Amino acid sequence: MKLVITNLTKTYKNGVKAIDNLNLEIGTGMFGLLGPNGAGKSSLMRTISTLQSPDSGSIMFGDINVLEDKMALRKVLGYLPQSFGVYPKMSAEALLDYFATLKGIGSKTDRKAIVKEVLDITNLYDVRKKHVAGYSGGMKQRFGIAQLLLNNPKLIIVDEPTAGLDPAERHRFLNVLREVGTNCTVIFSTHIVEDVKELCNDMAILNGGRILKQATPSQARAELQGRIWTKVIDRDDLEAHEAQYNLLSSNYNEDNSLNIRVFSDNQPNEDFKSVEPQLDDVYFIALKQDEPVSAV
């Protein structure tokens, strides 16, 4: 099933246009929504998840008109917000049972079976009797996935799920997500380019409420083949290079020199070496092109 977003706009009371006439089409599989902090990712995901209403536009998931028939979407939706809490003094098992009830599972045995399964999947079975409020960040995030799975969702929306997780937790989390994402649409927002590279078969870059670019990760990299150049410079030369070239990123080396990456159709000069394009480059190029042209 396809998620089709057309002309979506949302302006907040303080005048911020969080979503700006946005159009997007998302098919089955993992979809990465990449964007810096404040790009409007959460606003977009909350809007798709029926938590807030847009000013205008439409969202269709298959033949469900999301804005008109929120209940229909909620039946097939799995949503994990950027930050969430849990009720104190409730164990994972009790809380999942509670969510299973909310999600329409009437039979007690059914609830038991599915709660056990999602606890297994997320590796929480051993701590199922413990209060969720006492979980570590990674465990809590896995609990978030567990509750999301209860209604066997067709559309999964996860908002910056890997922020703050240690490498082991992050991998485990992404693996589970990948696993569940094979047969449905998973929208996955992040500002970590790495996540998208590892997981997604489609992606979009969002900033200022607009889609700057939509492509598959490999396709996006392929587009840049032969147009990314790198050079090692002194720290003091940075400003000059910035002015002269289309500078994408710069990293310090151990000897305090800088590694810079530059976007250019041709080799800027012989000091530059051609490098394999990375997803980071795609991201920075998209953001750079969207930047307001400042008076020079």
Binding site for other proteins (CB under 8 A): 12-13, 46, 49-53, 71, 74-75, 77, 79-81, 83-89, 94, 98-99, 101-107, 110-111, 113-114, 117-118, 120-121, 123, 136, 138-139, 144, 147, 149, 151-152, 168, 171-172, 175-176, 179-180
Integer Cα distance of 208 and 206 in angstroms:
7
Tokens, residue 168? 């082991």
Which one, 57 or 81, has the nearer CB to other proteins? 81
How many other β-carbons are positioned within 10 Å of the β-carbon of residue 48?
25
- φ/ψ bin of 99: left (φ > 0), alpha (ψ from -120 to 50), beta (otherwise): alpha
Which one, 26 or 262, has the nearer CB to other proteins? 26
SS3 68: coil
Distance of CA 170 to the CA centre of its chain: 13
| Minimal distance, residue 76 CB to other proteins, in Å | 9
| Minimal distance, residue 63 CB to other proteins, in Å | 17
Integer Cα distance of 144 and 14 in angstroms:
31
Q: What is the phi/psi pair of residue 184, to 5°?
A: -140, 180
Q: Where are the alpha helices (DSSP H) in 150-216?
A: 167-180, 193-199
Cβ contacts of 39 within 8 Å, gap of 6 or more = 206, 207, 208, 209
Which one, 67 or 286, has the nearer CB to other proteins? 67
| Minimal distance, residue 173 CB to other proteins, in Å | 9
| Minimal distance, residue 80 CB to other proteins, in Å | 8
Which one, 114 or 262, has the nearer CB to other proteins? 114
Which one, 125 or 280, has the nearer CB to other proteins? 125
| Minimal distance, residue 102 CB to other proteins, in Å | 4
Which one, 83 or 244, has the nearer CB to other proteins? 83
Nearest to 180 by CA among 144, 210, 154, 147: 154
| Minimal distance, residue 32 CB to other proteins, in Å | 20
Tokens, residue 194? 């790495």
